[in-house]
Amino acid sequence: MAHQLPELPYALDALEPHISRATLEFHHGKHHNAYVTNLNNLVAGSELEGKSLEETILAVAGDASKAGVFNNAAQVWNHSFYWQGLKAGGGGSPSGALAEKINADFGSFEAFVEQFKAAGATQFGSGWAWLVLEDGALKVTKTANADLPLAHGQTALLTMDVWEHAYYLDYQNRRPDYITTFLDKLVNWDFVAANLAAA
């Protein structure tokens, strides 16, 4: 079965004024969709056709001759994951087991926020900031371009897209403002908590 563009889990205008309808139309409808189309074209007729995104990513990770497949498959996965981590009325701080784990592994929620903001702000060029679980501990990481925790044995819990197409229509070159808004107004902590519980 061909890879499909997943529906957004909310209406195109649901994240306004923080992320505009226009941004989602371009980011989801054009960028994300192009990765899906490219991936399907790249794997058609190959041994990768019919494999899941995760199987495809792990099969080609580190193989320079399959960089195109990796980049498009990883970007389909990254974006599908990113949309789930956003919600209207989100942001703020988590509660329950997730809050306890963040406090235990980072020292405080504020320390996590500081690390996450720094990861997003210092990712040169295009990439992603992540909250991941590795060897039982939470950590903040960042990846360039299409790279993702799955390729490094880590479990992704939350991601923030810092490619310019994620924020430029709404924030222009003010990436730090987008990062702050992401944390204060948009994070779907229920999604993050569910990922931690399932890990």
Tens of pLDDT, residues 9-43: 999 999 999 999 999 999 999 999 999 999 999 99
Q: Do 105 and 175 belong to one domain?
A: yes
Rounded Cα distance between 58 and 56, Å, is 6
Rounded Cα distance between 46 and 86, Å, is 34
Q: Do 188 and 139 belong to one domain?
A: yes
Rounded Cα distance between 143 and 57, Å, is 15
Q: Do 77 and 103 belong to one domain?
A: no
What CATH number is given to the structural domain containing 39? 1.10.287.990
Look up the pTM and report it: 0.96
Query: Residue 140 above 80 pLDDT?
Result: yes
What CATH number is given to the structural domain containing 140? 3.55.40.20
Give tens-digit pLDDT for 37-77.
999 999 999 999 999 999 999 999 999 999 999 999 999 99
Q: Do 116 and 149 belong to one domain?
A: yes
> Rounded to the nearest 5 degrees, what angle is found at the Cα of 134, between the Cα atoms of 131 and 136?
110
Confidence of residue 1 (pLDDT cuts 50, 70, 90): confident
Number of structural domains found in the chain: 2
Interacting residues of 75 by C-beta distance below 8 A, sequence separation 6+: 32, 35, 146
CB 119 within 8 A of CB 162: no
- For the chain, give the mean pLDDT: 97
Q: Do 46 and 115 belong to one domain?
A: no
Rounded Cα distance between 49 and 1, Å, is 8
The domain containing residue 68 runs over which residues?
21-84
